[in-house]
Amino acid sequence: MVEVGRSRGIWWGRALARALFLLIGGCHCLIAVVIGVSLLASIFIDGEAPGGSFGLVLLDLVLAGPGVLALISALQAWDPPDDRWNGIRWYVLALVGSGLTLCTWAVVAMLLWAV
């Protein structure tokens, strides 16, 4: 009886973790797409980006990487034998992607707060 309760708790914990990683990764990807499209539109309409070049678009693509990693990791199977990508467990990739995403959000929030 104790084993059933423990496995149910693990199941709920995994479900909450996956939902959190999916939410963080999805929001970050959506924000990255919105920013990327607006930067590209400003380049084609005005002739240059607000920063002056395609550097901001490349930065946007690089910063979208952790969000995509968290999103894809949340959607993959976490149970063996399909729980790894190139030897790294999916939940570790989701943790790293979500951590980097939250760090970029914190940096952006600090920059916006300082302005």
**Average pLDDT of each block of 10 consecutive residues along the chain (115 residues)?**
66 90 93 86 74 72 89 85 82 91 90 83
Query: What is the count of structural domains for the chain?
Result: 1
Structural domain for 79, as ranges: 2-114
pTM (two decimals): 0.79
Residue with tokens 């980097």, as numbered in its chain: 100
* pLDDT, position 56: 76
> What is the Cα–Cα distance from 50 to 83, expressed in whole angstroms?
42
Residues in CB range of 82: below 8 A, 6 or more apart:
76
Instruction: Identify the pLDDT of residue 10.
Output: 83
Question: What pLDDT score does 19 carry?
Answer: 94
